[in-house]
Amino acid sequence: MLEGKVAIVTGGTRGIGLAIVKKYLQEGACVVLFGSKEETVTKAIETLKNENGEYKVSGYAPDLTSEESVREIFERVEKQFGHIDILANNAGISSKTHILAYTEEEYENVVNVNIKSVFICSKVAVPYLKESKGVIINTSSMVSTYGQSSGVMYPASKFAVNGMTKSLARELAPFGIRVNAVAPGIIETDMVKQLPKEMIEPLIKTIPIGRIGTPEDIANAYLFLASDLASYITGAILPVDGASRS
């Protein structure tokens, strides 16, 4: 479905991001994954290459909050592959801190990683995506619509991602660039896997479809939105949550 496409995936070294990278590779794309550290980038690439030595994957660890750093890497990718077709803005951090314990440092960290990085990567990608009539896909969350009981800046940051998604969809449509977001529900990440059974079972009972989602569930949505099957879809926030909205 993505044969000949070149994709950049931020936060691509583990969990949902790594699943997106793997799905894109399986569907024929060349993928450049971004991670927060050189060692995690190297480890992720080794894992993928061990799985399939034919995968066309490379990676970098730019500072996603620095336009100069991001621009330098995009230029490298374009020189290497000749074009960029897909930007998956998946990098993000969560927060569960009570409002009275929230520090300015944590506030700024969540805003920088979850909002500023999406803005910078999207801005830098636009000239390349104009040439390829490409796609931007952002990772939102079900809490972007319904909030959560603590860690206020996490849902607030995802509200912002939704706003950027819908606004950029309108702004960039004349250039042939589609912009969408995927809003995951409760997903079986490493963190969730470590939760005790007595915590997991009540969570599952809140999900009408009867199970926790997998990273591959999210990757499938990313594949669909990146493909030509979604050629008339832009400005959408696609929930992938088993109807666990509340």
**Active site (catalytic) residues:** 154
Residue entry with tokens 């589609």: 178
Decide if 33 contacts 57 (C-beta within 8 A).
yes
Distance CA 89, CA 168 (A): 13
Q: In what order do the strands lie in the sheet with 178-184?
A: 57-60, 30-34, 6-9, 86-89, 135-139, 178-184, 237-240
Residue 160 one-letter amino acid? A
Q: What is the DSSP letter of 10?
A: T
- For the beta carbon of residue 51, count every other beta carbon within 10 angstroms: 11
Decide if 28 contacts 145 (C-beta within 8 A).
no
Distance CA 219, CA 240 (A): 10
